[in-house]
Structure 1
Amino acid sequence: MARIQWKVHELPWRLKNSMGSFFSWIKLLRVTLYYNHFTNVSVAMETCLEPIFWFVDKFAKYLGPIFMTMVIFLTTSVVVIFYTCLLPHVYAQSTSRTVFHLVFGHWLLINIVFNYIMAAFTNPGTPPMEIPETVSICRKCIGPKPPRTHHCSVCDRCILKMDHHCPWLNNCVGFYTHRFFFLFCCYMFCGSLYVCFTGYDVFTEHFYGKTPYPFPAVLYPLNLVYDVVNKTLSTAPTVHNNYNLEVTHEHQSYHLAVIFEFLVCSAVAIAILGLIVWHFRMISRGETNIEMHINKKERERLRKKGIAFRNPYDFGFIENWRIFFGIENGTGRSFVRHILFPSVHQPTGDGLTWPHEIYQGDHMLQLL
């Protein structure tokens, strides 16, 4: 019969050997992952995000219509609540303010709807088989790629001056849609702030309330139950209680609509603000979202060689914005007419060839 002996005095060194083996395995794993000289934190992060990229490639095409439905539903609900709840509140205060809100609000609404429709349903631009200038051959389309053209795995085609694929538009942001996309973000941000400022006093009144309740205003159903219980225990007639309950139910719908309006608009404004700042920085530098990452790697590569990198499509802050909006000198277009109001004008050029900014000597400028 086997005999088991417990050797307590061997436990420390056995535990030490086990921990040593475990840490040796961790060290070997780390060295194995970073064996390649070119591996860095960015490559490791991209490797970890591969499942997300796979999910986007496989399902973004199907999620696009869902996201578009969400945008249309939220925008429509905000507009309906504004007409039914906030506009009567403004009209009760002043007629002149009502006229201002009707003019200014409809100006924002028209620009939001117009730019969203154009960004969602306009072809962002695809290169033909015969192009005047070829940079490379697309490995997926097996076709020539003009400068600043990239392949979209969701749309399964090459896009001229591709920035990114937007699931909220179910379309690519490219040469013919970048301006509509950016203007939609700007007008949506202004519209969200406008609704928040217009209904702020109504929101604070309904969110915080005027009468003391045991629960916060955001938990209105619990406060409603508390109010109903108090009215039931009171000595008032039954008809009076029923009348109050009916009024309270209507007040609840109005209350929830006002809170929903403010919370949705404030969340959209915060989210879109970061997107606007990001694109503002890229447009000011004359590059797209994809080119920003390419130029960053190229800048780091040339810096090691002591060479300064310059973006060949950067013509300066003002000129970059004129090119982006398509209102360069000589086009006969103006900022007021073609940017502040809906306009279907196309950007200058065909998206196949691009002018280059020439920096004399800068391409071999040694870094100090």
Structure 2
Amino acid sequence: MRTRRWIFSAVMRLLLRCLRIGQRHRFWPTQKVWQLWLYGRLCLRSLLYNSFTDSDTALDALFEPVYWLVDHITRWFGVVFVALVIILTSSVVCIVYVCLLPLILRTYPLPWVFWHFIYGHWNLVMIVFHYYMAITTQPGYPPQSKSDIAAVSICRKCIAPKPARTHHCSICNRCVLKMDHHCPWLNNCVGHFNHRYFFSFCLFMTMGCIYSSVSGWDMFWEAYAAIEKMKLLAKERLQVTANQTYGQTPPPTFTFQERAFHKSVVYAWVLCSSVALALGALMIWHTVLITRGETSIERHINRKEKRRLQKKGKVFRNPYSYGPLGNWKVFLGVERKRHWVTRVLLPSTHPPKGSGLNWDTTPYGPEQKTALLAI
């Protein structure tokens, strides 16, 4: 009996020893690598786990270096863009005063001279005024104190209360009230307190460029034909210079003042026409947004909200829209009929309606209210 027990225990000890030796020399490295792989995967998942992660979040993470580069370039080149706008606008104004105005006074009848003088200067004053105000007026920033505002969310970058329709500008590195976008040509954000100045500048600049292009159409073609004639005469002069032995006289040449005049007219017309097309498209887009009672950022948010409600069989309604005419009255600050002249057609520094911290909303469902107040 003892012999059997001893034999059984010896066999078990030998078997366990063999398993330990096999695990140590054969299976141990593979097991350790597998354990390291499981541990690394668990760490990676714990670091990257986010219950709100979706395709948009993944794309934002992938394009984050591009966003960082664009933000820093826009921040540093904003002054350059503003200087470029001032230089180009001043160059066209100088060409009009030096080249075109004397020609208009000599050739146009008195009623047309009076019209160009009044409309041109009114348009120029409106452009300069609204551009200056759009640059120097702050768009509006929410206060840091929680007791001063009805916050609907917390900005994850500022770690501060964020009112409705407020968004964080990565270029200014601040939250902006009713932010529309950051405009590099203004070197400033377009928000609650300077949105009207920005749109008015786009409107009157487009009107001025269209006015210059239409009124200078005949002058442009005359100047363009004169430039082509200058090129042709230059070729003929070279040919005559090469054949001086035949006694040919060189063709007449244009003076420096004539060449500068024709090239300046062509330059001004091409610049005004290009700006009218580009800025006119931007102005039309913002006209549609203002009519709908939304900003550029809210346009994208409202489209997603509209698709989400459509899947549930519900209809989307913008809570900040008061109808087309009502939206324009709120945007322009028109409270009386005379304000269409004193606040729209004339320079005015009146503030917008409201403080940008609280917004009156139109009736809508409770589910849509919760979603849209947090945008």
* 1:226 paired to 2:235: yes
1:193–1:303 CA distance, 2 compared to 1 (3 A): same
Which whole-Å CA distance do the structure 1 matches of 2:181 and 2:89 have between them?
A: 23
In the TM superposition, residue 111 of structure 1 has moved relative to its aligned partner by: 0.1
Q: Aligned letter for 1:309?
A: F
Q: Aligned letter for 1:81?
A: I
Task: Tell whether the 8 Å contact from 2:240 to 2:249 is kept in structure 1 after alignment.
Answer: no
User: Of 209, 212, 223, which aligns to 1:206?
Assistant: 223
Q: Aligned letter for 2:91?
A: S
The aligned runs of 1:244-323 (5 Å cut-off) are: 244-245=252-253, 247-323=254-330
Task: Tell whether the 8 Å contact from 1:87 to 1:98 is kept in structure 2 after alignment.
Answer: no
In the TM superposition, residue 253 of structure 1 has moved relative to its aligned partner by: 0.9
1:352–1:43 CA distance, 2 compared to 1 (3 A): closer
Task: Tell whether the 8 Å contact from 1:115 to 1:181 is kept in structure 2 after alignment.
Answer: yes
Match of 1:11 in 2: none
Match of 1:96 in 2: 111
| Deviation sequence 1:45-93 (CA, Å, 0-9, x none) | 8677655423221211111011101100000000000111211221122
Which whole-Å CA distance do the structure 2 matches of 1:184 and 1:152 have between them?
A: 22
In the TM superposition, residue 228 of structure 1 has moved relative to its aligned partner by: 3.3
User: Of 85, 97, 100, which aligns to 1:86?
Assistant: 100
- TM-score with structure 1 length normalisation? 0.78
Q: Aligned letter for 2:142?
A: P
1:148–1:224 CA distance, 2 compared to 1 (3 A): farther
Which whole-Å CA distance do the structure 2 matches of 1:208 and 1:317 have between them?
A: 47
Q: Aligned letter for 2:113?
A: T
Task: Tell whether the 8 Å contact from 1:86 to 1:198 is kept in structure 2 after alignment.
Answer: no
Which whole-Å CA distance do the structure 2 matches of 1:230 and 1:249 have between them?
A: 22
In the TM superposition, residue 197 of structure 1 has moved relative to its aligned partner by: 1.5
In the TM superposition, residue 273 of structure 1 has moved relative to its aligned partner by: 1.2
SS in structure 2 of the partner of residue 183 of structure 1: helix
Task: Tell whether the 8 Å contact from 2:155 to 2:162 is kept in structure 1 after alignment.
Answer: yes
Which whole-Å CA distance do the structure 2 matches of 1:177 and 1:208 have between them?
A: 44
In the TM superposition, residue 132 of structure 1 has moved relative to its aligned partner by: 2.8
Task: Tell whether the 8 Å contact from 2:138 to 2:194 is kept in structure 1 after alignment.
Answer: yes
In the TM superposition, residue 231 of structure 1 has moved relative to its aligned partner by: 6.1
* 1:142 paired to 2:159: yes
| Deviation sequence 1:10-53 (CA, Å, 0-9, x none) | xxxxxxxxxxxxxxxxxxxxxxxxxx9954xx789867765542
| Deviation sequence 1:71-124 (CA, Å, 0-9, x none) | 000000000001112112211222332222111100000000000000011011
* 1:120 paired to 2:135: yes
Which whole-Å CA distance do the structure 2 matches of 1:195 and 1:159 have between them?
A: 36
Q: Aligned letter for 2:284?
A: V
Task: Tell whether the 8 Å contact from 2:190 to 2:198 is kept in structure 1 after alignment.
Answer: yes
Identity of paired residues, percent? Answer: 44
1:280–1:67 CA distance, 2 compared to 1 (3 A): same
Task: Tell whether the 8 Å contact from 2:166 to 2:179 is kept in structure 1 after alignment.
Answer: yes
Task: Tell whether the 8 Å contact from 1:207 to 1:259 is kept in structure 2 after alignment.
Answer: yes
Which whole-Å CA distance do the structure 2 matches of 1:92 and 1:255 have between them?
A: 17
1:230–1:186 CA distance, 2 compared to 1 (3 A): same
User: Of 336, 343, 347, which aligns to 1:338?
Assistant: 343
Match of 1:64 in 2: 78
Q: Aligned letter for 1:153?
A: S
Q: Aligned letter for 1:340?
A: L
1:47–1:223 CA distance, 2 compared to 1 (3 A): farther
Match of 1:108 in 2: 123
1:225–1:280 CA distance, 2 compared to 1 (3 A): same
- Based on CA coordinates, which of the two structures has the bigger radius of gyration? 2
Which whole-Å CA distance do the structure 2 matches of 1:301 and 1:154 have between them?
A: 30
SS in structure 1 of the partner of residue 345 of structure 2: coil
* 1:349 paired to 2:354: yes
| Deviation sequence 1:272-315 (CA, Å, 0-9, x none) | 11101110111111110001111111111111111211110011
SS in structure 1 of the partner of residue 355 of structure 2: coil
SS in structure 2 of the partner of residue 308 of structure 1: coil
* 1:155 paired to 2:164: no
| Structure 2: 5+ residue stretches without partners | 1-51, 370-375
1:236–1:337 CA distance, 2 compared to 1 (3 A): farther
Task: Tell whether the 8 Å contact from 2:193 to 2:352 is kept in structure 1 after alignment.
Answer: yes
In the alignment of these two chains, the number of paired residues is 312
Q: More deviation in 77-86 or 52-61? A: 52-61
Q: More deviation in 150-159 or 163-172? A: 150-159
